[in-house]
Amino acid sequence: MKKLTPMMEQYMEIKNQYNDTLLLFRLGDFYELFFDDALVASRELEITLTGRDCGLEERAPMCGVPYHSVNNYINKLIIKGYKVAICDQVEDAAEAKGIVKRDVVRVITPGTLIDTELLEEKKNNYLMSIYGKGKGVGITYVDISTGELLTTEIVKEKFKENLHDEICKVHPKEIIYYVEDPLLKDLITDCGEKLNLYINDYEDWHFDYEYATKQLKSHFNTISIEGLGFEYKHLGVQSTGALIDYLKSTQKRTLNHLKRIQVYTLKDTMILDLNTRRNLELTETIREKKKKGSLLWVLDKTMTSMGGRLLRRWIEEPLLDIESINNRLSIVEIFKEDLLLRKELKEYLKDIYDLERLSGKIAYGTVNPRDLIALKNSIACLPAIKDLLSNKESTFLQDILSKISNHEEVKHLIENAILDEPSINVKEGNIIKNGYNQDVDELRYASKEGKSWISSLETKERERTGIKSLKIGYNKIFGYYLEVTKSNLHMVPNDYIRKQTLANCERYITPELKEMESKVLGAEEKVITLEYQLFLEIRKEIEKEVPNIQNTAQSIAQLDALYSLAESAYENGYIKPLVNNDHKIIISNGRHPVVEKMINNNGFISNDTIIDREKHEISIITGPNMAGKSTYMRQVALIVLMAQIGSFIPAESATIGVVDRIFTRVGASDDLSQGQSTFMVEMSEMANILSNATMNSLLILDEIGRGTSTFDGLSIAWAVIEHISQALKCKTLFSTHYHELTELEGIIEGVKNYRIAVKEEEDNIVFLRKVIEGSADKSYGIQVAKLAGLPTAVIGRAQKILMDLEKNDLAKHDIVIKENPLQGNVNNQQLNFLDIDNEEIISQIKALNLMETTPIESLNILYRLQKKASGV
């Protein structure tokens, strides 16, 4: 019976330990894949599938990629959702007895990428760990490329909804989890499918409390976990311990840059659900999923990658604390008002590299000589930034500056040791500066002198032999040689030793040449080895400074994000809002930050907004489609959100009462994959809003109830407004085409009618984009259809039908409307809530105190009751 060859036995032994990965097995200058892995890789990477003798009757399917370009192929596999294990030689081939020992040195997954060329510069790459038990979950997530490690615990009735929101906010590339509740498992799986995440169902023993605690103590080098900030958060301990365990098993190294953990609660920042993030297009557009056209696109003027990542996080996590908001606003104001300061700060920031990811590479052992030069150049900018901002009177700004170190020792070390333009490869030499190490200098001198001797040998031999075309060459196979054309072979001296014959020439060596070659190449080989060892020592020395470099990186990221907000405020004419806890939103001439930027002709129409708990708690907004209702409502939500991230806002003035959450129900689309209709999706989203909103929330509701019949839709919309007014009492903008809802202004306290103004010109309309008090008396549907380009014949027919419908004269058309027994007759086609609400009219009349009512008030009351009774 045939058996595998020794090399393939080694492969199979390793592969059996990593069955869930594609194993890249190093053979010479290639990483090879075998058997099923080869079939997958050849298909996904579109590379040639070959075969290799493996000892069995059939050849093993095989494909491979060059080691020097392996990262490109790994990236493609990771994007397609595969895990990749890198198997390298772990002993010197010259010292090996038999098969060279190999082992997996790293497992690369979507959540554990660290190679900067594979990552988006201004976006974090998170790995999340989730542990669910009982009515609670522990959540921990990490970006190993930057060293950020955060954890929280959710234990309350709505922990499932909050878990969903956290997953959507963090948007990790990968999740490892263990949960007891099958519904919680379904939730995580659904999030994975919707957000295209890599999901690992991790075994429960990794999350065991004692095991997790042991992992944390070992990693953070502490005798107890009390000082890490967990307090009594057992679920957080378990999710974090499992995450550390997963990183150790996949990364195969100590992760010294993960030495700080940020324990947070959901009360620290505003929670935004997935629908709100999508509808407000905070970081990407709904349709094209691109940054351009989003709020981030407008606000992102950051000069550094780390500043860009932080600004994105701020937009996704608006603040709730007034002091924190105003701290940011104060610095934005300082930067905005000082043009020269802003320009100078920009010049320094643009020369700072990604210190967070450089720190990660140093700790990870993947930093190269050019990275160290980038670190040195970045450090060189720090004193100037501190000097520039040191005289500004802002406690918050000075606190940020206090965390920036000058890192003089690191700078001097790199400056003295590393060449200004070193090799990118640590094993190719050309790294260490002359004067840093005596042995390197001596070896370089020996190599240089030898090369000079060899170069002078060409002139010497030409004179000695009389062969004017004689030249000295070099290649890696034969080393140095003397080359003589065939026409001059008769002049070759007897001490020349033939080495190689070519078509037009012969190549020779001499004992003297080979002796000098040995000295030159020996010196070059030794200096390359020595430079590599010195580089490792330098890297190890710099690694001690990583925690301080991370502190500096965080402060520079903050300054960059605040600079960005100031620059966008200056560029777009934003103003500083007054942010408080007064539960009022008052905006004068507010503008949509994205739409006005896209228009580019200063043609955006600004609008005022008043929302308070007295007369303007719920604004009912009517007007035709395309008139700007949705834009206006999103505009208000974005202005509030911008204020709460510490940004200036697009308005003439504004007072923003902090909101705890923003909810949006805008637009609708069928979720066919879940078997849900447009209306079902709409109602599910409304159920979520009404269950989670508080009196401090802001609701943006666009045409609730439009996905079903007129009667049902109007009933639901009416009931929703009543519930918001009576049970939630939160700030609400509610757009609708149900004009009957405008009657609520006189019925429900706090309801106020607004409409989008339009100008009629014969059969056409012009959208004025202005929000004014009052209600629209019609929807202008046919005019909008005409603007949209419907055929003239269709428009004409629609106008005729509308005229007849308004006269209730349907007999003139070939339209059959069956009598509804609940309606009584054809003439009652529209549900009139006022016909079934006479008891309320009577009760209002009974409640009147005519002795204390002025004549004007009496007339107004009578007018409203008359309208209500007549169904107008």
Task: Please tell me the total count of domains within the chain.
Answer: 7
Quick check: is 293 in a domain? no
Q: Helices in 229-286 by DSSP H: which ranges?
A: 234-251, 274-279
Share of the chain above pLDDT 90, in %: 65
State how far the Cα of 869 lies from the Cα of 277, in Å rounded to an integer. 43
3-state secondary structure of 865: helix
The pLDDT of residue 838 is above 70 = no
Give the DSSP H or E segment for 127.
Answer: strand 127-132
Known binding-site residues equal: 623-630
pLDDT one-digit tens code per residue, 373-405: 999 999 999 999 999 999 998 999 999 999 999
Closest-CA residue to 41 (of 56, 26, 23, 66): 23
State how far the Cα of 235 lies from the Cα of 231, in Å rounded to an integer. 11
Question: Are 755 and 618 found together in one domain?
Answer: yes
Q: What is the CATH number of the domain that holds 155?
A: 3.30.420.110
Question: Are 644 and 751 found together in one domain?
Answer: yes
Cα–Cα separations (whole angstroms), residue 74 to 29, 63, 142, 322, 489: 16, 14, 21, 46, 53
Known binding-site residues for ATP equal: 623-630
Question: Are 664 and 811 found together in one domain?
Answer: no
Cα–Cα separations (whole angstroms), residue 139 to 152, 234, 463: 5, 11, 80
Quick check: is 67 in a domain? yes
pLDDT band for position 829 (50/70/90)?
very low
Question: Are 137 and 78 found together in one domain?
Answer: no
Question: Are 533 and 549 found together in one domain?
Answer: no
The arithmetic mean of pLDDT across residues 168-184, rounded, is 95
CB of 319 within 8 A of CB of 267? no
Quick check: is 186 in a domain? yes
The arithmetic mean of pLDDT across residues 774-787, rounded, is 70
Domain boundary among 75, 108, 141: 108
Question: Are 825 and 841 found together in one domain?
Answer: no
How much is the pLDDT for 857?
A: 65
Residue whose pair of structure tokens reads 């590379």 in the numeric block:
47
Quick check: is 431 in a domain? no
Quick check: is 159 in a domain? yes
How much is the pLDDT for 775?
A: 83
Question: What is the pLDDT of the chain when averaged over all its residues?
Answer: 88
Question: Are 465 and 515 found together in one domain?
Answer: yes
Q: What is the CATH number of the domain that holds 719?
A: 3.40.50.300
Joined together, the tokens standing for residue 440 give 């390197």
CB of 742 within 8 A of CB of 620? yes
Question: Are 38 and 79 found together in one domain?
Answer: yes
The arithmetic mean of pLDDT across residues 182-188, rounded, is 94
Closest-CA residue to 336 (of 569, 659, 516): 569
How much is the pLDDT for 746?
A: 84
Question: Are 524 and 562 found together in one domain?
Answer: no
pLDDT one-digit tens code per residue, 416-442: 999 999 999 998 899 999 999 999 998
3-state secondary structure of 740: helix
Comparing 518-532, 773-787, 813-827, 855-869, the range with the smallest average pLDDT is: 813-827
The pLDDT of residue 788 is above 90 = no
Question: Are 826 and 841 found together in one domain?
Answer: no
Question: Are 619 and 739 found together in one domain?
Answer: yes
pLDDT one-digit tens code per residue, 89-129: 988 777 777 888 999 999 999 999 988 888 999 999 999 99
The arithmetic mean of pLDDT across residues 209-216, rounded, is 96
Residue 443 belongs to what domain range? 438-538
pLDDT one-digit tens code per residue, 587-614: 999 999 999 999 876 778 999 999 998 8
Q: Are strands 262-263 and 497-501 parallel, antiparallel or unpaired?
A: unpaired
pLDDT one-digit tens code per residue, 621-647: 998 877 788 999 999 999 999 999 999
Question: Are 640 and 765 found together in one domain?
Answer: yes
pLDDT band for position 479 (50/70/90)?
confident
How much is the pLDDT for 656?
A: 97
Comparing 387-401, 529-543, 664-678, the range with the smallest average pLDDT is: 664-678
pLDDT one-digit tens code per residue, 704-720: 887 777 778 888 899 99
Query: Between residues 544 and 820, which one has the greater pLDDT?
Result: 544
The arithmetic mean of pLDDT across residues 765-792, rounded, is 75
Quick check: is 295 in a domain? no
Quick check: is 143 in a domain? yes
Q: What is the CATH number of the domain that holds 503?
A: 1.10.1420.10
3-state secondary structure of 693: coil
The arithmetic mean of pLDDT across residues 676-696, rounded, is 86
Residue whose pair of structure tokens reads 């499918």 in the numeric block:
193
Quick check: is 124 in a domain? yes
How much is the pLDDT for 227?
A: 84
CB contact set of 246 (below 8 Å; sequence gap of 6+): 127, 129, 176, 200, 202, 206
